[in-house]
Amino acid sequence: MINYLNSIDTQLFLFINRLHSPFFDPIMYWLSDKWIWVPFYMLIVFLVVRQYKMKGLLIILAAGIVIALCDQTASHLIKNAVMRLRPSHQPTLTGLVHLSKAGPGGLYGFASSHAANTFGLATYMLFMLDKKLNPLKYILFVWAILVTYSRIYNGVHYPGDIIAGAMIGILWGWLIAKLFHYFENRKLQRDLQKK
């Protein structure tokens, strides 16, 4: 069963990775680059703090915790335990993988920390933001999909790496949002009891 799933994963990876073109190569490279997204992150901070004031700072702080948990889970815990080679390091795929100028990445790819981080943030914000910021929620999920697709396109992740990373991110995003609301409700109840 594992060999069958690996075979499907490899075939799907090769299909997506072969869709490269001179037009999309630089776009996909930049989509994968973490520094290009700094203005986007700053916009998120600005919108959340403007909408929620001091509570917005706590929301952003908890978002940082989500990303840290996602990154540590995918990059350190799972990658070092599973040790699945990235397609860019897989000897059986030598000469078949199209790489972006970012290069082959680290040795192991399961699970994708890009997928965990982006889907973690998108999921967390889905549960944290009210209807006034609905457009931001949709943008975050489109962003997560584009970033994770670029990882396959750039030759450094199998689709299975992306799916596993996204699941890690969704789980942490949901859990931290639930904990945030739990402690917020407890504080509200204590404040009401004091009155």
pLDDT class for 191, splitting at 50, 70, 90? confident
Per-residue model confidence as pLDDT tens digits over 162-179:
999 999 999 999 999 999
Cα–Cα nearest to 161, from 88, 126, 122, 109:
109
188 has pLDDT over 90: no
53: left (phi over 0), alpha (psi -120 to 50) or beta: left
Maximum separation of any 2 CA atoms in the chain, in Å: 71
Q: What is the value of pTM for the model shown? A: 0.94
Read off the pLDDT of each residue in 83-105 and give the average, rounded to a whole number: 94
Residue 4 above 80 pLDDT? yes
In this structure, what DSSP letter does residue 87 have? G
Summarize the confidence of residues 43-55 as an average pLDDT: 96
Angle at alpha carbon of residue 124, lines to 122 and 130, rounded to 5°: 95
If we measure between CA atoms, which residue out of 78, 150, 138 comes closest to residue 108? 78
Tokens of 124: 């967390």
Summarised one tens digit per residue, pLDDT across range 108-158 is: 999 999 999 999 999 999 999 999 999 999 999 999 999 999 999 999 999
Does 107 score more than 70 pLDDT?
A: yes
**Does 66 score more than 90 pLDDT?**
yes
Nearest to 159 by CA among 66, 96, 87, 80: 87
* Amino acid found at 80: N
The pLDDT of residue 195: 65
The total of other beta-carbon atoms located within 10 Å of residue 127's CB is 15
pLDDT tens digit string along 8-41? 999 999 999 999 999 999 999 999 998 999 999 9
């970012």: which residue's tokens?
102
Average pLDDT over residues 173-195: 88
Q: What is the pLDDT of residue 192?
A: 74
Residue 143 CB coordination number (10 Å): 18
- The SS3 assignment for 96 reads coil
Predicted confidence (pLDDT) at residue 94 exceeds the cutoff of 70: yes
